[in-house]
């Protein structure tokens, strides 16, 4: 089996009040995976416009495999209006429809996914029928499926989320997403751990991770729970922190590292992103090591 990791979904521009940056959760995950030396491809779509060409140039320069990015004549490149509150937490207005809402199924992307070691996808790309149908077809052939839940109202439906969770081998939520989805599935529980086990039983998925912002994360991996309590930082903005967390976690778990090490390093990278501007700051391994193993 190839060591290629495939990320599927939105690539776009995050438009802040005074600047814009390249983003989209699948692209952010792909870039962090790539920074650790993984062979990463992304399946998406851009418009035939200036923003699309700038985005494609960036992806080419980053070292990602860009051959599976489609170009749409009918739809423009994705944009998201980002607002930050006083604490640096982000809220989003996501333009619809865009090119990444219309990712077509092709023989090339089917062959790519079939031979990958992991297929990473999110919930946002399922908001439109075309991209959702393409995703469903690729899930039928993907060998290991990692579901990154990103609830962006009003761009999701509970029935679609439940279907995607059933298809996934690994699911990542944040704590608010866990409680919302579990409650809609009928969970009577109030703790994170109880709801993790409830979701695990309902979806037959025994690999689930919950991020808790500055309080770290909880990882269920093959029946055992692993914890990290977070790292003390000054938040600049939270854009992309969860994506880099997932990219780091995926890297370590796919390489057979101990799950405790994986969640510790993932939390460190997520914290380093949150204390920087934008979704994809360069992070050196020495910086990560200082977070995980601080000198006392």
**Which pTM was predicted?**
0.94
Helix (H) or strand (E) holding 173: strand 170-174
Report d(CA 64, CA 32) in Å as an integer. 11
Edge-to-edge strand list for the sheet holding 69-72: 69-72, 40-47, 5-8, 118-122, 145-148, 170-174, 207-211, 217-221, 224-228
Give pLDDT, residue 86.
80
Report d(CA 154, CA 93) in Å as an integer. 10
Three-point CA angle 93, 120, 25, nearest 5°: 25
Task: Confirm if 218 and 227 have CB atoms less than 8 A apart.
Answer: yes
CATH of domain 5-292: 3.40.1190.20
Helical segments of 48-128, H only: 50-62, 107-114
Give pLDDT, residue 89.
75
Burial category of 15 from C-beta neighbours within 10 Å (exposed 0-12, middle 13-18, buried 19 and up) = middle
Give pLDDT, residue 136.
98
Give pLDDT, residue 83.
83
**pLDDT string in tens for the chain (296-residue length):** 346 999 999 999 988 888 888 989 999 999 999 999 999 999 999 999 999 999 999 999 999 999 999 999 999 999 998 887 887 777 788 999 999 999 999 999 999 999 999 999 999 999 999 999 999 999 999 999 999 999 999 999 999 999 999 999 999 999 999 999 999 999 999 999 999 999 999 999 999 999 998 899 999 999 999 999 999 888 887 778 999 999 999 999 999 999 999 999 999 999 999 898 767 888 989 999 988 998 75
Q: Which residues contact 258 (CB under 8 A, 6 or more apart)?
A: none
Task: Confirm if 158 and 181 have CB atoms less than 8 A apart.
Answer: yes
Give pLDDT, residue 296.
52
């Amino acid at each position: 089996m190839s060591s290629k990791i495939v990320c599927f979904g939105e690539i776009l521009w995050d438009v802040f009040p005074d600047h814009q940056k390249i983003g989209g959760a699948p692209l952010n995950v792909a870039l962090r995976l790539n920074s650790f030396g993984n062979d990463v491809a992304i399946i998406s779509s851009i418009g035939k416009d200036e923003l699309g060409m700038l985005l494609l140039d960036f992806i080419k320069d980053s070292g990602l495999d860009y051959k599976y990015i489609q170009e749409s004549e009918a739809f423009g490149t994705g944009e998201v209006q980002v607002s930050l509150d006083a604490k640096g937490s982000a809220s989003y207005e996501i333009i619809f429809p865009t090119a990444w809402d219309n990712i077509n199924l092709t023989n090339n992307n089917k062959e790519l996914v079939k031979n990958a070691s992991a297929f990473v996808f999110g919930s946002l790309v399922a908001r439109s029928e075309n991209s959702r149908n393409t995703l469903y077809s690729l899930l039928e052939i993907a060998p290991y499926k990692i579901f990154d839940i990103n609830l962006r109202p009003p761009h999701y439906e509970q029935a679609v989320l439940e279907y995607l969770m059933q298809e996934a081998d690994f699911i990542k939520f944040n704590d608010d997403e866990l409680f919302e989805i579990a409650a809609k599935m009928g969970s009577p529980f109030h703790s994170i751990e109880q709801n993790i086990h409830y979701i695990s039983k309902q979806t037959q998925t025994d690999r689930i991770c919950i991020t808790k912002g500055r309080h770290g994360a909880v990882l269920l991996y093959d029946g055992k729970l692993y914890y990290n309590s977070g790292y003390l930082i000054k938040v600049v903005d939270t854009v992309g922190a969860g994506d880099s967390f997932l990219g780091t976690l995926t890297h370590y778990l796919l390489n057979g590292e101990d799950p405790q090490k994986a969640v510790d390093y993932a939390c460190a990278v997520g914290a380093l992103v949150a204390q920087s501007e934008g979704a994809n700051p360069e992070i050196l391994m020495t910086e990560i090591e200082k977070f995980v193993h601080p000198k006392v």
